[in-house]
Amino acid sequence: MAYVATIGFFDGVHRGHQFVIEQLRQQADNTGLQAAVVTFTEHPQKVLCGNALPLLTTYAERIQLLKEQGVDEIFAFNFEVIAAMTAEEFMHILHAQCGVEMLIMGYDHRFGSDQLSRFEDYQAIAARVGLKIRQLEEKKMEEGVPSSTKIRRALQSALIEEANAMLGHPYALSGEIVEGRHLGRTIGFPTANIAIAEDKLCPALGVYAGLLTDGELGFHDEPVVVNVGSNPTVGGNHITVEMHIPHWDGNLYGRRMTVRLVRYLRSEKKFPSIEALKQQIHKDISILYHPVIS
């Protein structure tokens, strides 16, 4: 199989990434090649700097989003191995072992241990290797070019709608449903605790409106309340992600589920009593079905 490919980590697969993939797909359609993305199993910064960034998408989430964008094939490399290669060595692997015939480079993208700075240098190497190569221009957007860094900041500032606009899709939290303290059930609001990955970015603490889709359970954009926090009213002392599904009660333990956050409802707070907490949860649920227009 022969491919036209682009290279990147694509954390979040946000609108900037989507523009690159759109151009990739156009090249694939024009040339009769398959569209491929070359990516890495771990974030380059973790390898180069030793500090792990909180990720917008886990590896599995990233791969799924790339496929939803129409990517035919994904080549995932260990960045620690690739970081030691020159641009020519890496291009040779892509051409000889992966079948890449054409390489699409973002306007500011660079790779290779030789740290080339000019696109013309990459062109010369590609010609020697037997690759075609082209460079994309920066996409101009009225609100600025989205970036993973900007999206992280928005999420950490409880600006979920701003983050979703840059992502081009709702921010998702996914993981296995695990045992919790069962406190929600005791006050009439059972919750499902989602064990999100350690390297996944946890958004600002607070209560969110979310959407849940699970065809097997009959959920299709089902409105849910999501609490990200420590539940201070009931003596919680560590951060959890808990989801309450109104009008539904069942055993979800061991099931992998994904909830998409669409609106920030309120900050987390310690209520003076359990009754006050219950009244607030009723208000949170009512907003799911009857949003307050501000």
User: In the chain, where are the structural domains located?
Assistant: 3-135, 171-289
The pLDDT tens digits of the residues spanning 254-277 come to 999 999 999 999 998 888 888 888
**Phi and psi dihedrals of 76, rounded to 5?**
-105, 125
In this predicted structure, the answer to whether residue 284 has a pLDDT above a threshold of 60 is yes
pLDDT at res. 237: 53
Q: Which pLDDT value is given to residue 162?
A: 96
CATH of range 3-135; options 3.10.20.30, 3.40.50.620, 3.30.360.10, 3.40.50.2300: 3.40.50.620
pLDDT greater than 60 at residue 235: no
Among 200-209, 213-222, 225-234, the range with the most confident prediction by mean pLDDT is: 200-209
Q: What are the tens digits of pLDDT across the range 30-55?
A: 999 999 999 999 888 887 777 778 99
- Can you tell me the mean pLDDT for 197-206? 93
Give mean pLDDT, residues 52-78. 95
Asked if the model's pLDDT at residue 5 lies above 80, the reply is yes
- 232 band by pLDDT with thresholds 50, 70 and 90: low
What number is the average pLDDT over the span 63-85? 94
Residue type, 194: I
**Residue with the two structure tokens 């350690």:** 198
Model confidence at 166: pLDDT above 80: yes
The whole model's pTM is what? 0.88
Q: 60-69, 89-98, 110-119, 202-211: lowest mean pLDDT where? A: 110-119
Distance between CA 245 and CA 263 in Å, rounded? Answer: 16
- Report the CATH fold assignment for 171-289: Elongation Factor Tu (Ef-tu); domain 3 (2.40.30)
pLDDT at 154: 97
Q: What is the pLDDT of residue 51?
A: 78
Q: What's the gap between Cα 5 and its chain centre?
A: 21
Band (pLDDT 50/70/90 cuts) for residue 183 is low
Residue 186 has pLDDT above 90, yes or no: no
